[in-house]
Amino acid sequence: MVYRIKATIPISKIFMRVYEVRPEMNLFSFNRYILNNLSFGLDQMVIFRAFNVKGEMTSQYGMFDLGSGTVDNVTFADIIEKGEVHIEYCYDFRNNRIIYLDFDGEDEENRKLTYPCVVEEKGHNPGQFADKYEDYMYQTTPVSGASASFNDEDDDEDDEDDMDKPEEIYDENESDE
């Protein structure tokens, strides 16, 4: 059995990752994995704030014991056993930048995969210290006024006309005389 952990960024409707992890994986190892996966630097402090189903913060896990244990001694099995189903993974203390990690169920272990692993993803990696998450692939430029309206029939005709135009062919035997 493996746990499915869905990662999202609170200010983005685009970014999403689904990680599968073994229950015995500790938060320290997961931290290293997620930092590498997101192309973040490995030299920053992080904290995991865990919440129960009611949305109450029940634990904080860090490099130093903050009262709930350290990341190298707390496993996903421990977290799930305590009923902590939502985690705020704070990777930038100065600006309180977080990624939500939500327990998304259990799955059968696939012997062809190496765990932890990403099984679903959407959006590009966020900048570790960027002011905000932007994914230019999903942004569109608003179209204004008259240029926004067109006739579908005219558009189809243009495509057909373009297909009928012959392309210029370069003849290798011609000389530049």
DSSP letter assigned to residue 147: G
Best CA proximity match to 85, nearest among 99, 102, 98, 69: 102
Q: What is the pLDDT of residue 95?
A: 83
Round the average pLDDT of the chain to a whole number and report it. 80
Q: Could you tell me the residue ranges of all domains in the chain?
A: 2-137
Q: What is the pLDDT of residue 76?
A: 98
- Kindly list the distances between the CA atom of residue 109 and the CA atoms of 28, 77, 83, 104, 173, in Å, as whole numbers in the listed order: 21, 15, 22, 15, 63
CATH architecture of the domain covering 2-137:
Roll (3.10)
What mean pLDDT do residues 151-164 have?
46
**pLDDT tens, 95-114?**
888 999 999 999 999 999 99
- Above 90 in pLDDT, residue 124? no
- Contact status, residue 87 vs residue 49, Cβ threshold 8 Å: yes
DSSP string, 81-94: HTTEEEEEEEEETT
- Above 50 in pLDDT, residue 72? yes
Written as one letter, the residue type at 132 is: K
pTM: 0.72
As a whole-number percent, the residues of the chain with pLDDT over 70 amount to 71
- Above 50 in pLDDT, residue 25? yes
- Above 70 in pLDDT, residue 155? no
